Structure formats: structure tokens, C-alpha cells
């Protein structure tokens, strides 16, 4: 998981605000926003929730109204300028391809693609902007700079980054419009058919953050989180006694799509504890899912380009267990 390094980021520290007549009766978060214009409402609400803002030396909820004579202590608060990826040159970065328009990277398992908040480190984006600082300014989200798409933290494999604003717009649109051919390698439990095309509707589970619910058909009456259609195709590359190695193609890009859909048809990915994929006799170090190949139209040449990434050693070792 990313690491939050609050003390290492250039934040507001231990700033005292004395309530003015204009602050009386105004909510705490709004008062702090007035006196700390370099920050944002989202950062202020996070600071209040993290007990980093005090009123008269006491923790106060965000809805507190300021009274005459109140003293507000801002112990720690990010500013808008802090919403940038921290360069980390010591992080590994494997570059499969580089040209004037884009980079193709091979992300290791266990590394998030980008930070979720200011000060977080240990991600692919941290490694990327350390090598190419100009990429930090590409895109509309400073914490997700230049990157055209995402992978789960424990999924290894190919990630594409743009090196120009024009390439970024082109690539993001290509991924959003499903014009990128994405192939994954997955080891599953069970005995799937030789080929299959899976079509489901997925939605986030409100009571289980980070997990998706799968519907075989669109419910006629449904009041939960937004439903997203997911389409996945696979073919069996190799069969083992209790497992099968699949080549998987996805036409859509829904969160946990491959993991949730394969589990829904009784073939969970080996090592995927979230969706029931850890068998008794095989214990992969993580979910056996690897983004193995990408093909798309190059943003400047207009030609179709294809990139591949070999299975990493931990997954190769898992396959070796199956042949012993």
C-alpha cells in the first residue's frame, strides 16, 4: 500500500487562527478555508477527520460553528500546491518501450499505480516522475500524471504513460472507448471451458469497500451503486490437475473485472483471497494475474503497436509447483 509521509510534505504546520467577527457562526471547515486560501475544502475536511485541526485545544467535528474568541490551531494541512507526486528515484522502473509520445512500463506486483493522496509514496507514478519530471504536469489529476490507465496493486504487467499532452488525450480516449486490445495471463482454480465469453454487470459493494458484486443480468429493480457492464473473453492455454492457465482479453475496463467475473463462474484466480482464489495445495504469493500484452494505435504514427511483458519470477515459480 502507499505510504503517507505527512511530515515530509510541504504542508501548513501549527498555524493559529483567531476568530474574527466575520467567522462567528460559520462552520469550522469554511473558516479554515477562508484563512488558508492555499488549501482546498477536501484537504481541510481530511485534516479535521484526522484530528489535525483543533478549536480551543480540543478536537472539533467539521460541522462545528465558530464562536467569538475561539482559537483554531491548524496542526497539519496540505495546500493545493502539495497535490503532486513526490519523485522517488530509488524506486524501480522497468521501461519496455520509450519514444517521443509514450512510455510502456512493466509494473511489479505490490506497487500501486499512483498515490491516492498527497504525501503518499511507493507508487509507479513516484518512480516515473523521478525519471521524467515533465510528466508530472501532464493530465488533469496531479496525483495521476501522464498515466493512461490503472492496474490493481497486486497485478503485475504493462502500464502506458504519455510523454506529451496530445498523446495523453489520445491514449486516455483510446482506453475509455475500449480501443485498446488488453490481454492478461491468469491462473484459475477449477476446470473452465476451452473458451468463453463472460458478460456481467458489476457494482461496488457499499458494505465491503474494494469488492465488486456480480450480476448475471441487469436487475429490473436496483437501487444500489452504479451498474457497469463487463465483458471478458478467455481461452485455456494450459490445463493442470486442479487449475488452468488462461489468456484473458477484456473489452471493458471495470474495477476487478477479471477477478470478479472468473470467480462468479466458479474459476477464481489462484491466490486472490478477496474472491476466494487460494486453494489448499497451491499458495501463490499474490493473485496470479499479469497484464501480459497491449495493442493500440500509436498517437503520432497512426500505426498499430503491440507490447508484451513476460511472466515475472514469482508467477513462473507458481507454475513450476504445478508440474512437480
Separation of alpha carbons 172 and 162, rounded Å: 9
Q: What angle do CA 37, 134, 294 make, to 5 degrees?
A: 115
Separation of alpha carbons 231 and 141, rounded Å: 28
Residues paired with 166 in a beta bridge = none
What is the DSSP code string of 173-240? HHHHTT-SEEEEEEEEES---SEEEEEEEEEE-TTSTT-EEEESS--SS--SSPPEEEEEEEEEEEE-
Q: Which residues of 48-87 are buried (b: 16+ CB within 10 A; e: fewer)?
A: beeebbbbeeeebebebebeeebebebebbbbeebbbbbb
Separation of alpha carbons 289 and 187, rounded Å: 7
- Nearest Cα residue to 260 out of 319, 218, 204, 195: 204
Indicate which residues carry an active-site annotation: 152
CB atoms within 10 A of CB 113: 20
Confirm if 188 and 270 have CB atoms less than 8 A apart.
Answer: yes
Q: Which residues of 275-307 are buried (b: 16+ CB within 10 A; e: fewer)?
A: bebbeeebebebbbbbbbbbebeebeeeeeeeb
- Nearest Cα residue to 146 out of 130, 215, 13, 280: 130
Separation of alpha carbons 51 and 76, rounded Å: 9
Confirm if 259 and 211 have CB atoms less than 8 A apart.
Answer: no
Amino acid at each position: 500500500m502507499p505510504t503517507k509521509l505527512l511530515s515530509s510534505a510541504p504542508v501548513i504546520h501549527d498555524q493559529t487562527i483567531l476568530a474574527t467577527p466575520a467567522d462567528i457562526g460559520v462552520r469550522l471547515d469554511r473558516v479554515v478555508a477562508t484563512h488558508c486560501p492555499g488549501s482546498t475544502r477536501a484537504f481541510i475536511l481530511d485534516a479535521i477527520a484526522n484530528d489535525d485541526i483543533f478549536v480551543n485545544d480540543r478536537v472539533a467535528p467539521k460541522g462545528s460553528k465558530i464562536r467569538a474568541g475561539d482559537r483554531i490551531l491548524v496542526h497539519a494541512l496540505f495546500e493545493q500546491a502539495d497535490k503532486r507526486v513526490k519523485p522517488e528515484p530509488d524506486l524501480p522502473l522497468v521501461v519496455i518501450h520509450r519514444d517521443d509520445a509514450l512510455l510502456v512500463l512493466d509494473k511489479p506486483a505490490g506497487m500501486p499505480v499512483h498515490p491516492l493522496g498527497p504525501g503518499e509514496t511507493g507508487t509507479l507514478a513516484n518512480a516515473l516522475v523521478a525519471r521524467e519530471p515533465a510528466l508530472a504536469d501532464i493530465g488533469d489529476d496531479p496525483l495521476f500524471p501522464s498515466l493512461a490507465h490503472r492496474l490493481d496493486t497486486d497485478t503485475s504487467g504493462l502500464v502506458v504513460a504519455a510523454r506529451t499532452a496530445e498523446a495523453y488525450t489520445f491514449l486516455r480516449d483510446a482506453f475509455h472507448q475500449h480501443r485498446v486490445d488488453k490481454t492478461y495471463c491468469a491462473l484459475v482454480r477449477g476446470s473452465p471451458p476451452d473458451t468463453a465469453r463472460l458478460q456481467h454487470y458489476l457494482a461496488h459493494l457499499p458494505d465491503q469497500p474494494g469488492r465488486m458484486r456480480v450480476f448475471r443480468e441487469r436487475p429490473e429493480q436496483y437501487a444500489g451503486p452504479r451498474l457497469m457492464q463487463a465483458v471478458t473473453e478467455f481461452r485455456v492455454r494450459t490445463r493442470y490437475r486442479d487449475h488452468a492457465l488462461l489468456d484473458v482479453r477484456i473489452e471493458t475496463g471495470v474495477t476487478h473485472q477479471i477477478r470478479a467475473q472468473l470467480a462468479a463462474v466458479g474459476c477464481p484466480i489462484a491466490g486472490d483471497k478477496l474472491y476466494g482464489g487460494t486453494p489448499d495445495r497451491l499458495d501463490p504469493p499474490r493473485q496470479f494475474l499479469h497484464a501480459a500484452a497491449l495493442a493500440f494505435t500509436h498517437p503520432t504514427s497512426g500505426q498499430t503497436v503491440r507490447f508484451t511483458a513476460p511472466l515475472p519470477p514469482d508467477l513462473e515459480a507458481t507454475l513450476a509447483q504445478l508440474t512437480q
